[in-house]
Amino acid sequence: MMQEELMADLRAMWRIRAFEEKVEALCGSGDIRGSVHLCNGQEAGPVGACEALDGTDALFATYRGHGWAIARGTPLRPLLAELLGRATGVNGGRGGSAYFSAPEYGFYGENSIVGAGAPIAVGAALAGRYDGTHRIAVTVFGDGAMNQGAVHEAMNFAAAAQLPVLFLCENNRWSELTPIRDTVHNEALTDRPKALGMPAVRIDGNDPHLIRETVSDLAEASREGGGPAFVELTTQRLVGHYVGDPQQYRAREELAADREREPIAVAIRRLTEAGVGAGEIEDAESSAREEVEQAARAALADPRADTGSVREHIYA
């Protein structure tokens, strides 16, 4: 069973990786415009965590949220169409990479303001007490966002009101272009939520099985009135902070080490050690790439968004 689960996780992670690599190529060709942030190397988090969520639960991601949207079930073609500014995009081409949402799939959007998703998720959890859904709200953010006042205030409010919020911190060691170790005195990020009285754990963010089990347990406790919880996922990004980032701040040796411990490489090693054939393992990648290519061809053929409708569905 564990072998079947790991193969399913590998396929799911390859869908995200292939999607992100296609997005990078489309940025290079000029088909995708604007700011784009990729999650290559961080695929285990969404693949593991999203399986612990129900359809009514609300997830709020950062601007590095393509993988989370995919893991929540957002189809690839309308997602690519959105990034391409097509009328068939999940938001009609209005949101682009940094602002899209797909609420019908439980993905309530990205946010280009660092840490801003946390207080919004707290609001969603609070609303769930009154609208009958009793939903869990999940907010995903990076290690750098831990230094934002809004994140601390959101955690404090959730703890004080015992709201069902899961705070998921993807610690890839880089707060944009600065190492997290240079921005804090105490690198034990879990100490902060613990001080507010909520459960907080630090786990391997490259292990989808461990993430799934951890988030499932915390989600169940939260549904039963246990209040919020915090999970720090130690991971790494294999690309720059944004598409086009030269990464001059990063040592080559570090990136080489990261490629050895990133989740897809780890899953392939584990499956190989378990006796799974190379053909089956390679099919996980080739199937994902073909699916993404088909979605991209279809999205590129879709009509561009009508600029005359740019002001529609915008609220202030």
Question: pLDDT (tens digit, 9 = 90+) per residue, 264-314?
Answer: 999 999 999 999 999 999 999 999 999 999 999 999 999 999 988 888 887
- % residues pLDDT > 90 (the chain): 93
For residue 162, the model assigns a pLDDT of 97
Structure tokens at 99: 């602002």
Contact yes or no for 50/129 (Cβ under 8 A): no
Average pLDDT over residues 172-193: 93
For residue 52, the model assigns a pLDDT of 94
Beta strands 178-179 and 174-175 are antiparallel
Is the pLDDT confidence value at 217 over 80?
Answer: yes
Is the pLDDT confidence value at 202 over 90?
Answer: yes
For residue 1, the model assigns a pLDDT of 56
Q: How many angstroms separate the CA atoms of 39 and 101, rounded?
A: 17
Q: How many angstroms separate the CA atoms of 37 and 168, rounded?
A: 18
Q: How many angstroms separate the CA atoms of 119 and 151, rounded?
A: 7
DSSP 190-201: THHHHHTT--EE
CB atoms within 10 A of CB 19: 28
For residue 312, the model assigns a pLDDT of 84
For residue 64, give Cα distances in angstroms to 99, 194, 238. 10, 26, 13
For residue 123, the model assigns a pLDDT of 97
Is the pLDDT confidence value at 263 over 80?
Answer: yes
In words, the CATH class of domain 2-298 is alpha beta
For residue 285, the model assigns a pLDDT of 98
Q: Where are the domains of the chain?
A: 2-298
Is the pLDDT confidence value at 192 over 90?
Answer: yes
- Three-state SS at 54: coil
For residue 311, the model assigns a pLDDT of 83
Amino acid in the structure at residue 243: V
> Which residues, including other chains, have CB under 8 Å from residue 255's CB and lie 6 or more apart?
238, 247
Contact yes or no for 60/40 (Cβ under 8 A): no
pLDDT tens string 235-252:
999 999 999 999 999 988
**Cα–Cα nearest to 264, from 40, 21, 23, 20:** 40
- Three-state SS at 152: helix
Mean of pLDDT over the chain: 96
Is the pLDDT confidence value at 316 over 80?
Answer: no
